[in-house]
Amino acid sequence: MLQRVQAADGRDLLVRREGDAVAVLGPWDGGRILDAVPDAAAERLDAAGTTPLPFLREGAKILCVGLNYRPHIEEMGREAPEYPTLFAKFVDSFVGPADDIVRPADVDQLDWEGEIGVIIGTEVRSASVDGAAGAALGAVALNDVTSRGHQYRTTQWLQGKALDSLSPIGSMVAPLRDDLTIETRVDGETVQQGRLDELVFGVADLIAYCSSIVRLRPGDVIATGTPGGVGHGMQPPRHLQPGQLLETELGRGGSSIETLCNRVRDGAEARQQ
């Protein structure tokens, strides 16, 4: 599996994870190395001496899909969409796998939305569904943390979804398989579980549809949607509070691939890197 890490000497690297070791493929260099991922390793490092960094390239497009799991559609009182419901986030919307989520002072309805993100590996434009199937590099864990108060100020969701430094994203990219799972936990309590094969619009459908709107380039991300169990859909609604631990786990076959562990704290919006 591919991973972005910081080495003990401070280097920002793209590596291939091999158990307790990592094979260095090259410098992250803003993610431009994703245009042509090397096959051969330049060196090997002990994984224990590295720090995971967000697998998110500078200037990446992040396209997010709403209402793509039927239980989530039902809990939010919506109808199943005819076309994918798209909105955008930005690189500055994200934090790393272990960074704090800093809740802005004007946010009191902060909600979790664990998702499987798809990292694009090949440039694609106006692809057919068949042609889109091979365009993905793999899957990454992310959480589309949302300010519900901002989201419902208007019929457009962007302002609730793209707030600075709220959404964790993983460091590790796993091969795409239908049995990939996403699980969200709040202070150890499981609140969401979903599988990639439960999507209303599958990965190839999403890549084809998104590429009909905008050119997708290596390192761009499609967040595939969240399963049921968001806090805002509960009775009574629940929202993230300062001090709580949000965990977002990407897994397969009962085994964990990567778990994002992000503590919520109060304060002004600030990028935590």
Average model confidence (pLDDT) across the chain: 93
Q: Would residue 273 count as lying in a domain?
A: no
Q: Express as a percent the part of the chain with pLDDT over 90.
A: 84
> Are 101 and 190 found together in one domain?
yes
Q: Is the pLDDT of residue 7 over 80?
A: yes
Least confident of 30-39, 86-95, 142-151, 250-259: 30-39
> Are 255 and 191 found together in one domain?
yes
> Are 131 and 232 found together in one domain?
yes
CA–CA separation, 266 vs 107, rounded Å? 10
pLDDT at residue 91, as a whole number: 97
CA–CA separation, 154 vs 85, rounded Å? 16
Q: How many domains does the chain have?
A: 2
Q: Is the pLDDT of residue 13 over 90?
A: yes
Q: Is the pTM of this model over 0.85?
A: yes
Q: Is the pLDDT of residue 108 over 60?
A: yes
Mind listing the pLDDT tens digit for each residue in 27-58? 999 888 898 898 888 899 999 999 999 999 99
CA–CA separation, 105 vs 84, rounded Å? 32
> Are 69 and 194 found together in one domain?
yes
- pLDDT band of residue 221 (cuts 50, 70, 90) is very high
CA–CA separation, 228 vs 193, rounded Å? 7
The token pair that represents 179 in the structure block = 């049995």
Mind listing the pLDDT tens digit for each residue in 186-204? 999 999 999 999 999 999 9
> Are 39 and 73 found together in one domain?
no
Could you count the other beta carbons within 10 Å of the beta carbon of residue 197?
A: 12
- pLDDT band of residue 121 (cuts 50, 70, 90) is very high
Q: Would residue 271 count as lying in a domain?
A: no
Angle, CA 210 vertex, CA 53 and CA 153 arms, to 5°: 80
> Are 17 and 78 found together in one domain?
no
pLDDT at residue 80, as a whole number: 81
> Are 226 and 105 found together in one domain?
yes
> Are 89 and 122 found together in one domain?
yes
Q: Would residue 44 count as lying in a domain?
A: yes
Q: Would residue 272 count as lying in a domain?
A: no
- pLDDT band of residue 3 (cuts 50, 70, 90) is very high
What's the domain range around 74?
62-266
pLDDT at residue 154, as a whole number: 93
pLDDT at residue 71, as a whole number: 79
Mean pLDDT of 206-215: 98
> Are 149 and 33 found together in one domain?
no
> Are 31 and 68 found together in one domain?
no
Q: Is the pLDDT of residue 272 over 70?
A: no
> Are 18 and 100 found together in one domain?
no
CA–CA separation, 230 vs 72, rounded Å? 8
pLDDT at residue 179, as a whole number: 96
